[in-house]
């Protein structure tokens, strides 16, 4: 995943959804999906249909989660035979990996840890209609013909069941100008699971964005001691499913 160049080709569907607004590319994901910001306060996500988690899933989950946390308002969502798209209202905040935070990695890492704890504490498990359990993830992997190692079927016991973000990597927490966590994006996989499923990925992603040495800082900011067994398991499950 990366920030695309300004001269990237804009898909026709994105131009239609922009309705004349100027477009700035802000994100390119690993399967060719693009995110653009418009100059009238919207984000447009467009990309190939994804069997792992769709933009329809994301729209449903954001609408639900907005009752308890700050997430973008959904304006439109759709798909055709090959691609899908999502239009949301821009929040007044920046990604935790925005260039603004390159010189302040500790502030950003701690904010993501604190924000993840806030999300876990706020979203109600009993009201959540989706799972992100190990069983669900293994079934999803099988549907995509991903061969997950047999030993990953033996998951650790659940420490604390929460509504997980499902993609708690650093970029998906939004910070205000003071570096406080104020919102969340990319909620397509949101669902109930052990909190370590999120913590493992969030802490692992610090190395992708800020280099080594920040994993335990995020976990400390979340408010618990590292559980090495669960961290190792859920990081491997993420990488291999």
Position 79 scores a pLDDT of 93
Q: Is the pLDDT of residue 29 over 90?
A: no
What string of DSSP letters covers 58-103?
HHHHHHHHTTTS--PPEEEEEE-SSEEEEEEEPPS-EETTSGGGTT
Q: How far apart, in whole angstroms, are the C-alpha atoms of residue 85 and residue 39?
A: 18
Give the orientation angle of helix 215-222 with respect to helix 105-122, to 10 degrees.
40
Position 50 scores a pLDDT of 81
Name residue 12's beta-bridge partners.
Answer: none
Top-confidence residue, 11 or 1: 11
Q: Is the pLDDT of residue 1 over 60?
A: no
Fold of 12-89: Phosphorylase Kinase; domain 1 (3.30.200)
What integer best gives the mean pLDDT of the chain? 94
**What's the pTM?**
0.93
pLDDT digits (tens, 9 = 90+) for 166-225: 999 999 999 999 999 999 999 999 999 999 999 999 999 999 999 999 999 999 999 999
According to CATH, where is 3.90.1200.10 located in the chain?
A: 94-240
Mark 56-84 as b/e (b = at least 16 C-beta within 10 Å).
ebbbbbbebbeeebbbbebeebeeeeebb
- Known binding-site residues for Mg(2+) equal 172, 186
Structure tokens at 123: 């979203």
Position 2 scores a pLDDT of 58
Q: Is the pLDDT of residue 3 over 70?
A: no
How much is the average pLDDT of 147-151? 94
According to CATH, where is 3.30.200.20 located in the chain?
A: 12-89
pLDDT digits (tens, 9 = 90+) for 40-70: 999 999 999 887 779 999 999 999 999 999 9
Q: Is the pLDDT of residue 135 over 80?
A: yes
Asked if residue 37 lies in contact with residue 55, where contact means CB atoms within 8 angstroms, the answer is no
- Known binding-site residues equal 172, 186
How much is the average pLDDT of 134-149? 94
Give percent of the chain with pLDDT exceeding 70: 98
Residues in CB range of 26: below 8 A, 6 or more apart = 3, 4, 35, 36, 37, 43
Position 5 scores a pLDDT of 58
Residues in CB range of 61: below 8 A, 6 or more apart = 130, 187, 188, 190
CATH node for 94-240:
3.90.1200.10
**Which positions are catalytic?**
167
Q: Is the pLDDT of residue 140 over 90?
A: yes
pLDDT digits (tens, 9 = 90+) for 55-112: 999 999 999 999 999 999 999 999 999 999 999 999 999 999 999 998 999 999 999 9
């Amino acid at each position: 995943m990366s920030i695309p160049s300004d001269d990237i080709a804009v898909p026709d569907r994105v131009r239609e959804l922009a309705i004349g607004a100027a477009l700035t590319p802000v994100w390119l994901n690993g399967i060719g999906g693009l995110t653009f910001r418009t100059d009238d306060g919207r984000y447009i996500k467009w990309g190939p249909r994804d069997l792992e988690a769709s933009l329809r899933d994301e729209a449903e989950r954001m609408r639900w989660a907005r009752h308890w946390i700050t997430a973008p308002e959904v304006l439109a969502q759709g798909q055709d035979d090959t691609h899908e798209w999502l239009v949301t209202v821009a929040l007044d905040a920046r990604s935790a990996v925005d260039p603004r935070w390159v010189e302040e990695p500790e502030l950003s890492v701690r904010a993501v840890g604190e924000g993840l704890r806030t999300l876990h504490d706020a979203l109600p498990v009993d009201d959540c209609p989706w799972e992100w359990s190990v069983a669900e993830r293994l079934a999803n992997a099988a549907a995509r013909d991903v061969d997950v190692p047999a030993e990953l079927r033996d998951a650790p016991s659940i420490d604390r069941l929460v509504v997980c973000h499902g993609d708690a990597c650093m970029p998906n927490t939004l910070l205000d100008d003071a570096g406080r966590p104020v919102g969340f994006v990319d909620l397509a996989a949101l669902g109930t699971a052990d909190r370590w499923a999120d913590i493992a990925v969030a802490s692992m992603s610090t190395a992708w964005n800020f280099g080594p040495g920040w994993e335990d800082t995020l976990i400390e900011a979340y408010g618990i001691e590292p559980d090495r067994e669960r961290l190792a398991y859920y990081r491997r499950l993420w990488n291999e499913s």
